[in-house]
Amino acid sequence: MTNTIKYELDSDGVALLTIDVPGKSMNVITREFMEDLEKLVPQIAADDKVKGAVITSGKQGSFVAGADLTMLLEMSEMVKTAPREELFQAAYRMNKALRAMETCGKPFAAAVNGLALGGGLEIALACHYRVIADNPKITLGVPEVMVGLLPGGGGTQRLPRLMGIQMALPYLLQGKNMTPQQAKMNNVVHEVVPQDELVATARKWILDGGKAEQPWDQKRFKIPGGQGVYDPNIVQTFVGAPAMTKKETKGNYPATVSILSCVYEGHQLPMDKALQVESKYFTELLLGDVAPNMIRTLFVNKQAAEKGVRRPKDIPPMKTKKLGMLGAGMMGAGIAYVSAMAGIEVVLLDVSQEAAEKGKAYSENLLAKRVKRKKTTEEKADKILSLITPTTDYADLEGCDLIIEAVLEDVEVKAKVTAQTEAVVPESCIYGSNTSTLPITQLAKASRREDQFIGIHFFSPVDKMPLVEIIMGEKTGDKALAKALDYVAQIRKTPIVVNDSRGFYTSRCFSTYVTEAINMLAEGISPALIENCGVYSGMAVGPFAVGDEVSIELSYHVGQATKKGLGDAYVPQAADAVVEKMYLELGRKGKKNQKGWYEYPEGGEKYLWPGLGEHFPVADRQPSAEEVTNRLLYRQAIEVIRCYEEGVLLAPEDADIGAIFGWGFAPWTGGPLSMVDTIGVKKFTDECQALADKFGPGFLPPKLLQDKAARDEKFYS
């Protein structure tokens, strides 16, 4: 009796194995699944009545979506208590089971009826015959590199043996997916057939005498495109691949090097030895810090956030049916688009009909691109556009159950808009502000229902950025929180929940990245050194590049507002004078006027403005790249810890998710608090104190950090 794989034997002697892991929306490889597979394969091999087996899925749209990442996290924890050999055996278990399946003497066919990712594709690759449904929504791939791992179920060995090494490397190193048709062209599957013919086609192959032997187990097998370290094609591939990989990863992701090593070493060995090599490298990655940190933040905690871990449990679902979008600028237009894409009716309001229509045109352009790329049809695009009503009349907001305001960042303007809106919307309507700088508690004072006022902070461009920051004002109630989280789930974004503060969490902490870079510029540190250290630290872009995107003009105005808001409590920084000079004296606003930290030549690539050296002379003696990198990363982490100490952040998970998906903090670290835990809380505290002694109070370790260091306590237990 098996719980995750249903076993049926028909009168023709073909066994049907239907994968259906209980309690999961998609099939994933769990310990129980492994036990069932290990039980069924020898049973099939020993049963003379069985001619062969077909493996398929009992879940709609999903074959197998890969390994249960929580299980992999637990495996990485084994290093603390278990010998290294025991961890290797745990990592080798999948390879051992799949190798037993492909060498058991009975033919196995995979009938792939949904997405097959990671271990799911590796199960299919271990089958002797693979047929897939003709469905463009189905994707196949090995995305383990995206969480700092390598395919640990034979993917680094079977995929190159089917596709050829050169063709397989992009899928292994970049986590690229392929469609059913691409899989057929790449020799990954044998046939693409209609969904309703899938299992029948796999059965027929077995009954027609399908052989239980893989190509790589046959004599004189050669890898497509070249094999062996002396083959000119392969030599050329492995000469260039490490350099190209280093360029892309900046040396921060060890999994890419391990994948190259697996393929290079494995293709010279018989399959059994090659699989052991793969499991060895897989084990080493689990023993490291990068993979466990990435798995925890990018998948386990991210999925928990998306499933509503912060949602009040006693409030029924509050689906948004009609959204009032106040402001049709870039942010408002983007929010209208993602809402309409989710099937929500949107009233897009602005001060003029022309501005409102322009906001809707943003959606028209994006949908036209989707139609051109065949990601949707004209009919569906028209239906989505029909959900957006551009207007200047507040009366059109009647019946809205959610309002999102994205008007000018001015308290008085926002207060006026709030009053006009509440005059026409239902009493039950929740009011959200997309402000990125103004305190929610202050804005809520203009509302007659402060408990129904909440911050819903998007990131630009809205259609691409995955994070939404939910900000709780002092009087925000659970109903508003539940509504905001349900809306974010509808539009398929990732939420974090934070408490009110000037700049909230993301804007406040992100600003330290750019500010510290400008501080260093004022000290005479080379702008190229600063920018390159930002890029090579793993940040999404360098501090000056992102500073131009945000705009120097905005940085100036936010700085002025912060000074005014904090009064005597404001601590001046060297960056203040630099920003003032760039904006007020030199007229350099950033990318918006093609003059900022960078120059933007027409038709050419941007480059750092040479005038920086003239106005902010470079010192003769420059610091090490390590010091510059630490200043950029540590300054952000210190501000994150201050937010946690002040109660702006509710949990370490929100801190790390918000940092990576909100402002592009180095994903390989797992986020700023994961980074601190990895460095060691005491070591990090000591290093920050040394930086504070040298460069000022921005690096001073908060009391929370000092207390944790004294107790030898991590942020994650």
How far is it, in rounded angstroms, from Cα 160 to Cα 174? Answer: 14
Boundaries of every domain in the chain = 5-288, 322-502, 507-647+650-711
pLDDT (0 to 100) of residue 9: 97
Domains 5-288 and 507-647+650-711 share a fold: no
How far is it, in rounded angstroms, from Cα 17 to Cα 41? Answer: 10
How far is it, in rounded angstroms, from Cα 113 to Cα 4? Answer: 17
What Cα–Cα distance (Å) separates residue 366 from each residue in 343, 383, 423, 465, 549? 16, 14, 33, 15, 21
pLDDT single digits (tens) 115-171 = 999 999 999 999 999 999 999 899 999 999 999 999 999 999 999 999 999 999 999
pLDDT band at 564; cut points 50, 70, 90:
confident
Give the domain 507-647+650-711 fold: N-(1-d-carboxylethyl)-l-norvaline Dehydrogenase; domain 2 (1.10.1040)
Predicted confidence (pLDDT) at residue 597 exceeds the cutoff of 80: yes
Give the domain 322-502 fold: Rossmann fold (3.40.50)
Give, in degrees to the nearest 5, the angle at Cα 635 between 630 and 641: 120
Q: What global pTM score does this model have?
A: 0.92
User: Average pLDDT for residues 469-482, to the nearest whole number?
Assistant: 98
pLDDT (0 to 100) of residue 571: 85
Phi, psi of 647 (to 5 degrees): 85, 10
- Residues 180, 135 contacting (CB under 8 angstroms): yes
**Of residues 557, 664, 542, the one with CA closest to residue 608:** 542
**What is the DSSP-derived secondary structure letter of residue 617?**
P
pLDDT (0 to 100) of residue 717: 82
| Continuous segment of H or E residues that includes residue 565 | helix 552-566
Q: Is 457 labeled as catalytic in the residue annotation?
A: yes
pLDDT over 90 for what percent of the chain?
87
pLDDT (0 to 100) of residue 124: 98
pLDDT (0 to 100) of residue 225: 85
User: Average pLDDT for residues 363-387, to the nearest whole number?
Assistant: 96
pLDDT band at 233; cut points 50, 70, 90:
confident
Give, in degrees to the nearest 5, the angle at Cα 196 between 97 and 13: 50
**What is the DSSP-derived secondary structure letter of residue 425?**
S
How far is it, in rounded angstroms, from Cα 182 to Cα 138? Answer: 11
pLDDT band at 81; cut points 50, 70, 90:
confident
Q: Determine which one of 190, 457, 557, 615 is catalytic.
A: 457
User: Average pLDDT for residues 438-453, to the nearest whole number?
Assistant: 96
**Of residues 644, 634, 635, 630, the one with CA closest to residue 707:** 644
Predicted confidence (pLDDT) at residue 85 exceeds the cutoff of 90: no
Length of the chain: 717
390: Cβ contacts below 8 Å, ≥ 6 apart:
328, 348, 349, 350, 353, 356, 357, 359, 360
Task: Give 708 or 223, the one with higher predicted confidence.
Answer: 708
pLDDT band at 700; cut points 50, 70, 90:
very high
Q: Given 3.40.50.280, 3.30.450.20, 3.90.226.10, 3.30.300.20, which CATH number is that of 5-288?
A: 3.90.226.10
pLDDT band at 546; cut points 50, 70, 90:
very high
pLDDT single digits (tens) 24-56 = 999 999 999 999 999 999 999 999 999 999 999
Specify whether the backbone of 343 is left (phi greater than 0), alpha (psi in -120 to 50) or beta: left
pLDDT (0 to 100) of residue 532: 97
pLDDT (0 to 100) of residue 592: 85
**Of residues 557, 535, 556, the one with CA closest to residue 546:** 535
Q: How confident is the prediction for the chain on average, in pLDDT? A: 95
pLDDT band at 687; cut points 50, 70, 90:
very high
Show the beta-strand stretches assigned E in 82-233.
108-112, 114-117, 129-133, 140-141, 177-178, 191-193
Tokens of 431: 């009011």
Predicted confidence (pLDDT) at residue 437 exceeds the cutoff of 90: no
User: Average pLDDT for residues 563-585, to the nearest whole number?
Assistant: 90
pLDDT single digits (tens) 632-681 = 999 999 999 999 999 999 999 999 999 999 999 999 999 999 999 999 99
77: Cβ contacts below 8 Å, ≥ 6 apart:
none
**Of residues 568, 705, 689, the one with CA closest to residue 640:** 705
Tokens of 430: 């929740």
pLDDT single digits (tens) 487-542 = 999 999 999 999 998 788 999 999 999 999 999 999 999 999 999 999 999 999 99
